[in-house]
Amino acid sequence: MIEISHLRNDLNGLEAAISRKKFECDLEGLLKLDQKRREEISAAEHARAGQKATNNEMSQLPKGSPEFLAKVAEMRELSAKVKELESAAKEADDNFRNAFMSVPNIPHESVPDGKGEEDNQTISTWGDKDD
């Protein structure tokens, strides 16, 4: 499995290495899914922090006061927004992971290029060979 930092930092090198395996995958599309995933996670975390700050403010208010009741209403709205954003972040993460798992490992530099199995080279054998 490749590292996500390799995808982000060396897209052209990764495309070249994968093409040596005669395999095609949409790495630019994968980068877009990664960017969307990161944006969705960030938005969800930001909303969660806002919810926590509002909760802290609410805890300082006297229960039953108009300000407290306003914060309760604000918390309900924030809670719904947080759930929606976390759901979107999870969906974006799932989409990215599914696409990322389809990217093959890159071949080692020492592996010769070939058109198929007939181009494979025998490096060593062990035991009796039955023909």
pLDDT tens sequence across 39-76 = 999 999 999 999 999 999 988 989 889 998 998 999 99
CB 20 within 8 A of CB 82: no
Q: What is the pLDDT of residue 131?
A: 60
| Its pTM surpasses 0.95 | no
In the chain the first and final C-alpha atoms are separated, in Å, by 36
Q: Which class is domain 4-108?
A: mainly alpha
d(CA 20, CA 22): 5
Whether 40 contacts 89, CB under 8 Å: yes
Q: Tell me what pLDDT residue 24 has.
A: 83
Tell me the C-alpha distance between 50 and 85, whole Å: 13
Distance CA 33, CA 31 (A): 5
What is the rounded distance in angstroms from the CA atom of residue 5 to the CA atom of residue 55? 36
Distance CA(50)–CA(43), nearest Å, equals 11
pLDDT given for residue 21 in this prediction: 82
State which residues of the chain have pLDDT below 50: none
- The domain locations on the chain are 4-108
pLDDT at 41: 97
Tokens found for residue 127 = 């035991």
